Amino acid sequence: MKKELLMGTALVSTLGAASVAEAVTATMSGNHQTGMEFDSPTGGTDTNAQINDNNFSIALSETTDGGMTISSSFSVVNESTASSSVGSADMDAGFTLAFTDGSKLDLINAGNASGSHAVSIPGSAGAEGVATTSTNVAPTGLDTGATATVFGVEYHTAADFLADGLKMSFSASTDSGAAAVDTYRADSHTAIGVTYVTDLGDTALTIGAGISGTEGSKLQTAVVDDNENMHVGLSAVTGDLTVAVGFADGHVAGVSDNGSDEYDYEVVKAGIKYVSGDLTFNVGIASGEAKDYTIGTSTGSDDSQDVTSASVSYAVASGVTAILGYTTTESSDEGASVDDGSAWYIGANMAF
């Protein structure tokens, strides 16, 4: 409770000390992407489906007399998908304070400083994918597992922190004070992330890395280890060509339908993007391995996912992009091959 009171006091005093204009500046942005997916699982029936991805965001900001910028944002969503009791994931933004030295402070649901520095690995720009069973826990992303709670802050340093091309972030969050339940719940979180950018001749090199950890609670059987994640990635851009690779390692607790399982995992990713005029070509691979086991034990079964994807995007007009994507997946659940297959996607994205 003391942590929550200190955080609330810091937020109120920081905002209250600022001299803010009578009205903030509002801007909007978003996209509408729609298309058809054709899913062909090896051991199942082919299916077709329309896939939509619609986003509409409003950003609010204003600058104080002292030069500090206060900003926030929210997304407009379909009311039927927004729960009034727990809130919507699209309506959870807090405040960001941008200081005159280039540093920033995120307040309330600030996020994970480790994830802020995960290197982007090229892959298909389409919305296709082969569904896997719910018990296959092998991840294919670099930032996995060690998430923050909404009661948190994240501090971003200015550019060229300690050395030219270096930026860092630090985040921490605490719990709501609610009692432990039968499923694993996050109580607190800490993370650190770093990005270093430099030029090697005609190549712009970016190195990103992060470490995060979450402590949680659960009634009855205790977890063997709490959530943790580390990742490192490298991206090299030479003209219109981008090449990137990444690696992640970690542990996740409370992942099954009843929150009784935990798993250790490793992920390797690599991708290439090439831009030629109005055309963009993406190719990516992701390989994830995990060993899942019942909470309180240390032995279990192996899961895996190997995903290869590619896409071609064409800029039809300003803000309008046509997309053709393809993904193939090989996976195993509890040591047995399952959920292999491929999927196509054809659609378009309109951004504003």
Q: So what's the pLDDT on residue 332?
A: 86
Is residue 237 pLDDT above 80, yes or no? yes
Percent of the chain with pLDDT over 70: 84
Q: So what's the pLDDT on residue 130?
A: 84
Q: Could you tell me the CA-to-CA distances from 216 to 107, 142, 212, 219 in Å, in that order? A: 22, 21, 13, 11
CB burial of residue 250 (10 Å; 0-12, 13-18, 19+): buried
Is residue 345 pLDDT above 60, yes or no? yes
Q: What is the mean pLDDT of residues 172-176?
A: 86
Q: What is the mean pLDDT of residues 221-246?
A: 90
Q: So what's the pLDDT on residue 297?
A: 66
- Report the C-alpha gap between 247 and 270 in whole angstroms: 9
Is residue 170 pLDDT above 70, yes or no? yes
Q: So what's the pLDDT on residue 177?
A: 74
Of the candidates 287, 284, 288, the residue with the CA atom closest to the CA atom of residue 271: 284
Q: So what's the pLDDT on residue 83?
A: 42
Q: So what's the pLDDT on residue 256?
A: 64
Three-state DSSP class for residue 2: helix
Q: So what's the pLDDT on residue 219?
A: 72
Helix (H) or strand (E) holding 15: helix 2-16
With a CB cutoff of 8 Å and minimum separation 6, the contacts of 186 are: 147, 148, 149, 175, 214, 215, 216, 227
The region of weakest confidence among 42-46, 101-105, 347-351 is 42-46
Q: So what's the pLDDT on residue 291?
A: 87
Q: What is the mean pLDDT of residues 84-113?
A: 77
The region of weakest confidence among 99-103, 124-128, 245-249, 297-301 is 297-301
Torsion, Cα of 104, 72, 172, 298 (10° steps): -130
What is the CB-side half-sphere exposure of residue 334 using CA atoms within 13 A? 5
Its CATH class, for the domain covering 118-145+193-352, is: mainly beta
- Report the C-alpha gap between 172 and 92 in whole angstroms: 17
Return the domain boundaries, the chain: 118-145+193-352
Q: So what's the pLDDT on residue 82?
A: 43
195-209 pLDDT, tens digit each = 999 999 999 999 999
Is residue 92 pLDDT above 80, yes or no? no
20 pLDDT tier (thresholds 50, 70, 90): very low
Is residue 224 pLDDT above 90, yes or no? no
Length of the chain: 352
Q: What is the mean pLDDT of residues 248-254?
A: 86
274-319 pLDDT, tens digit each = 999 999 999 999 999 988 877 766 677 788 999 999 999 999 999 9
